[in-house]
């Protein structure tokens, strides 16, 4: 994800780019260090907050890449805002809402946007039949997402569940995601992406993602993201939306106010530098979809292969 973002940023002229890098990770690829990209190496012994605050003050805009879990992304965005700098993602207010899946889905449902039925497990009284999906309210991807087949298993798991556990019906259909740009209550659908999710030992695992599929559904899904933009006007920049196509309907699962896995293949799929479009949003409105010349390539990201490397 970082490499994909840096590849797009170095295509944008007149940018000087600084990248936080954990010293325990491999160094940045050579094509980045030989360009206008300057790594800032941070070790476990360093005072991260001091270095982070110092670098925020030195730069004009900051693009955080972080999970919502535990409020990490929210806190980074809030730090940036408190120091008077621009965050190249949704503001902390939008991140706070969308970091909670149930708050997000309840808000969308109140605005007549179709969502997957979701309850806090502590409020669950068998309102829907098995099988069920259990997941943390602020989890990322398929992290700690479990399939529960029957009531006995659910009762056994109950001993280990927290107040932040959510439960949903396990719906048949195709898991998918949307890559979208948001700004000032408007939205531009960039691509629809097919998610390949496997179930191993009753745990869900995202193994691959094919970017820019279901092109024939663009108009329908553009209408959906327009409704989401109207319901959540504070969303800004690149946002990922997870959903499932169930009984010919698109039901929302969650909103991710950050770069997502699909971003890795987005430029090759649609032929557009999305990072430049996000930077352009600082001074210009979103273009209408008819103003954007999308290519129609399909790019598959094999997460299993990436993990092996």
State the maximum Cα–Cα separation within the chain, in Å, rounded to a whole number.
61
Percent of the chain with pLDDT over 70: 99
Query: Please, are residues 17 and 6 in contact by the beta-carbon 8 Å criterion?
Result: yes
Given a cut of 80, is residue 142 above it in pLDDT? no
Percent of the chain clearing pLDDT 90 (strictly above): 84
Cβ neighbourhood burial of 74 (10 Å; 0-12, 13-18, 19+): buried
CA distances from 114 to 13, 249, 282 (A): 41, 8, 31
Out of 4-13, 73-82, 259-268, pick the least confident: 4-13
Name the nearest CA neighbour of 253 among 169, 182, 127, 149: 169
Give the residue from 116, 155, 160 showing the smallest Cα distance to 249: 116
Q: How far apart are CA 194 and CA 183, in angstroms?
A: 25
- Tell which CATH architecture fits domain 2-95: 3-Layer(aba) Sandwich (3.40)
> What is the average per-residue pLDDT within 56-80?
95
Rounded-to-integer distance, Cα 133 and Cα 37, Å: 42
What confidence tens digit (pLDDT) does each residue in 283-304 have? Answer: 999 999 989 999 999 999 999 8
Taking residues 194-211, report their average pLDDT. Answer: 94
CB atoms within 10 A of CB 136: 16
If we measure between CA atoms, which residue out of 297, 271, 275 comes closest to residue 215? Answer: 297
Quick check: helix, strand or coil at residue 187? Answer: strand
Give the model's confidence band at 61: pLDDT under 50 very low, under 70 low, under 90 confident, else very high: very high
Q: What average pLDDT does this structure show over 189-217?
A: 95
What is the per-residue pLDDT for 54? Answer: 94
Confidence bin at 308 (pLDDT 50/70/90) = very low
Report the pLDDT value the prediction gives residue 309, as an integer from 0 to 100: 40
Find out whether 189 and 182 touch, Cβ atoms under 8 Å.
no
CA distance 136 to 102: 10
- The phi and psi torsions of 229 (rounded to 5 degrees) equal -60, -40
> The pTM is what?
0.95
pLDDT the model gives residue 141: 74
If you average pLDDT over residues 137-147, what whole number do you get?
A: 85
- Check pLDDT > 50 for residue 270: yes
Note whether 2-95 and 173-308 share their fold: no
Q: Residue 306: what pLDDT?
A: 57
Cα 45 from Cα 47, distance rounded (Å): 7
Q: Could you identify the residue written with the tokens 């149930």?
A: 102
Give 184's contacts (C-beta < 8 A, 6+ positions apart): 233, 236, 285, 286
- Across all residues in the chain, what is the average pLDDT? 93
Q: Which residue has the tokens 């502590």?
A: 122
Domain residues of the chain, as ranges? 2-95, 119-169, 173-308
pLDDT in tens, 210-237: 999 999 999 999 999 999 999 999 999 9
CATH level 2 (architecture), domain 173-308: 2-Layer Sandwich (3.30)
Which of residues 70 and 31 earns the better pLDDT score? 70
Whether 12 contacts 275, CB under 8 Å: yes
Residue-level pLDDT at 307:
52
> Of the ranges 10-14, 21-25, 174-178, 287-291, which one carries the lowest mean pLDDT score?
10-14
Q: What is the pLDDT of residue 157?
A: 84
């Amino acid at each position: 994800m970082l490499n994909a973002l840096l590849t797009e940023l170095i295509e944008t002229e007149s940018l000087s780019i600084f990248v936080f890098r954990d010293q325990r990770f491999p160094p940045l690829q050579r094509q980045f260090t030989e360009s206008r990209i300057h790594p800032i190496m941070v070790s476990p012994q360093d005072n991260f907050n001091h270095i982070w605050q110092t670098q925020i003050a030195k730069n004009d805009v900051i693009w955080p890449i972080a999970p919502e879990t535990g409020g990490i992304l929210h806190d980074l965005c809030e730090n940036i805002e408190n120091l008077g700098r621009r965050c190249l993602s949704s503001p902390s207010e939008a991140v706070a809402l969308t970091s909670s899946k149930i708050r997000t889905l309840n808000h969308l449902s109140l605005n007549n946007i179709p969502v997957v039925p979701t309850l806090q497990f502590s409020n669950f009284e068998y309102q829907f039949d098995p099988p069920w999906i259990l997941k943390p309210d602020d989890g990322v991807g398929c992290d700690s997402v479990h399939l529960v087949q029957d009531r006995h298993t659910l009762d056994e798991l109950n001993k280990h569940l927290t107040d932040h556990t959510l439960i949903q019906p396990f719906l048949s259909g195709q898991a998918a995601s949307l890559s979208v740009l948001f700004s000032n209550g408007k939205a531009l659908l960039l691509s629809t992406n097919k998610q390949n999710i496997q179930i191993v030992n009753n745990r869900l695992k995202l193994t691959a993602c094919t970017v820019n599929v279901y092109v024939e559904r663009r108009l329908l899904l553009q209408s959906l993201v327009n409704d989401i933009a109207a319901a959540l006007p504070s969303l800004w920049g690149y946002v990922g939306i997870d959903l499932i196509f169930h009984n010919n309907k698109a039901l929302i699962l969650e909103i991710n106010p950050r770069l997502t896995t699909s971003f890795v293949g987005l430029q090759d799929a649609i032929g557009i530098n999305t990072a430049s479009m996000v930077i352009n949003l600082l001074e210009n409105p979103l273009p209408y979809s008819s103003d954007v010349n999308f290519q129609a390539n399909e790019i598959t990201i094999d997460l299993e292969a990436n993990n092996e490397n």
